[in-house]
């Protein structure tokens, strides 16, 4: 029996653009989610010195899911 292969997601600069566009367009209607997203970004900038580790990539993935986007895993990106 083999181990289940991990599904890996690597955030791209385009993901941040998609999040920013959502915040500009829909954020005012969903204040709680927008504040959570801003809290993540401020923590990432000030506390973690913009370190792009697995926590960062997983957080971006979860944010994209929360705003209704369908992020592609690295394996799926290779297929397209």
Q: Is residue 3 part of a domain?
A: no
Q: What is the DSSP string of 16-43?
A: HHHHHHHHHHTGGG-HHHHHHHHHHHHH
Owning domain of residue 44: 13-79
Q: What percent of the chain has pLDDT over 90?
A: 59
Residue 1's pLDDT is what? 53
Instruction: Tell me the two tokens of residue 70.
Output: 């369908």
Name the domain count of the chain. 1
Q: Is residue 2 part of a domain?
A: no
Q: Is residue 39 part of a domain?
A: yes
The sign of the CA dihedral 22, 23, 29, 31 is positive
Cβ–Cβ < 8 Å for 44, 56:
yes
Q: Is residue 1 part of a domain?
A: no
Q: What is the pLDDT of residues 31-56, one digit of tens each?
A: 899 999 999 999 999 998 999 988 99
pLDDT at 59 over 70: yes
Residue 2's pLDDT is what? 62
Residue 72's pLDDT is what? 87
Q: Is residue 50 part of a domain?
A: yes
């Amino acid at each position: 029996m083999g181990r289940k292969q991990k599904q890996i997601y690597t955030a791209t600069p385009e993901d941040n653009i998609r999040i920013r566009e959502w915040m500009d367009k829909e954020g005012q209607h969903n204040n709680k989610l927008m504040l959570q997203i801003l809290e993540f970004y401020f923590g990432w900038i000030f506390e973690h010195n913009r370190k792009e580790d697995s926590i960062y990539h997983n957080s971006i993935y979860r944010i994209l899911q929360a705003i209704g986007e369908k992020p592609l895993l690295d394996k799926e990106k290779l297929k397209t």
